[in-house]
Amino acid sequence: MRIVSPGLYTTIQDLGRYGYQSLGIPASGAMDEYSFRIANMLVSNEESCAALEFTLLGPTIIFEEKTVFALACDAEASLNDSKIEGWRSYKVDPKDVLRIGRINRGCRGYISFSGGIDSPLTLGSRSCCAIARIGRPLRAGDVVKLKSAGSAEKRLESRYLPRWKNRVRAVLGPQDDHFTGRGIDTFLSSEYRVTDHSDRMGYRLEGREIEHAENRKEMISDGIPLGAVQVPGDGKPIVLMKDRQTTGGYPKIATVITTDIMDIAQMKTKDSLRFEAVTLEKAHSILAEYKRRLEDIRASLSAKRCKMIINGKEHYIEVEEL
């Protein structure tokens, strides 16, 4: 396929590049793993297959071969000038034109392709990480190779649509002892807003200052997990995301749980959020529930379905072998 217009910060991503953080290389990968995995399920791919991630405004693409693509977001979009919906897949032929406009809800969207994107592997992953100079955002004129595969058109059931929230759950620590009791209370009781200094590396937040314990504003650098909430000397929290640096010397008051990283990933400048403390055991329980939901989605999309048009309306009917 050929990129006519790249949209805003459109990159190739998979589920990440692991095993190299000890060498200072970020893991990267899709910011919203839930939407990304669904995009791949909609074209019958392995969920780790590379796809496109875009921010706020999507790309315009001309296809040069037959394929099936899926759009995982709520955006203004058209195929050959006919309006299309998100959270479903579509068959395309050579010369078909896909246009993705602005996102109506959330911040990031995903476009998957049957078979995945055939871009070079770097350290076991196709994920772009511009800060590490591994790949770059797409530009007009780029040609992106696709792996050849076929798939039926599918639609995500409405009950599985993401419902992003602004109350973000986090486990306190590992350096919550670097803050006063009042500082931790401030962190958990205040509303924070996303600033325009937020990207795939981290989200800088604006709000009440979090009070450090005396002489505890810095520390010897150590590893930074996904979702770590650093608090530098100004007392304003930073949530570290997929392209985060691998080490840092600011104390981490908490770590956002895996499932709620996706809520932050869909927040835009000036969106507000609050933090809620949960135990590690509760975090594990929430993650297990999330994995069960993914299993349910896989099962629902693997059912044999056919599309029928009745009185001008599309209907999807499940076919069961007796």
Q: Read out DSSP for 160-185?
A: GS----SEEEEEE-SSGGGB-HHHHH
Work out the pLDDT band at 322, boundaries 50, 70, 90: very low
Give the mean model confidence (pLDDT) for residues 181-206: 97
Positive or negative, the Cα torsion across 10, 14, 20, 21? positive
Burial tier of 78 (Cβ tally within 10 Å: 0-12, 13-18, 19+)? middle
Is pLDDT at 303 greater than 70 in this prediction? no
Spatial distance between the Cα atoms of 305 and 25, rounded to a whole number of angstroms: 43
Is residue 45 within 8 A of residue 38, CB to CB? The reply is no
Query: Which DSSP category does 23 fall into?
Result: G
34-48, 121-135, 136-150, 304-318: the lowest-pLDDT one = 304-318
Spatial distance between the Cα atoms of 54 and 222, rounded to a whole number of angstroms: 31
Give the mean model confidence (pLDDT) for residues 89-110: 97
pLDDT digits (tens, 9 = 90+) for 110-154: 999 999 999 999 999 999 999 999 999 999 999 999 997 778 899
Mean pLDDT of the chain: 94
Give how far Cα 98 sits from Cα of 7, 79, 122, 127, Å. Answer: 12, 5, 28, 23
Give the pLDDT confidence score for residue 302 in this predicted structure: 86
Give the pLDDT confidence score for residue 321 in this predicted structure: 44
Give the mean model confidence (pLDDT) for residues 252-264: 98
Give the pLDDT confidence score for residue 107 in this predicted structure: 97
Q: What are the residues whose beta carbons fall under 8 Å from the beta carbon of 75, sequence distance 6 or more?
A: 58, 86, 100, 101, 102, 103, 104, 109
Q: Where in the chain is the domain with CATH 2.40.100.10?
A: 167-278
Is pLDDT at 189 greater than 60 in this prediction? yes
Is pLDDT at 51 greater than 50 in this prediction? yes
Q: What fold characterizes domain 167-278?
A: Cyclophilin (2.40.100)
For 186, phi and psi rounded to 5 degrees? Answer: -60, -45
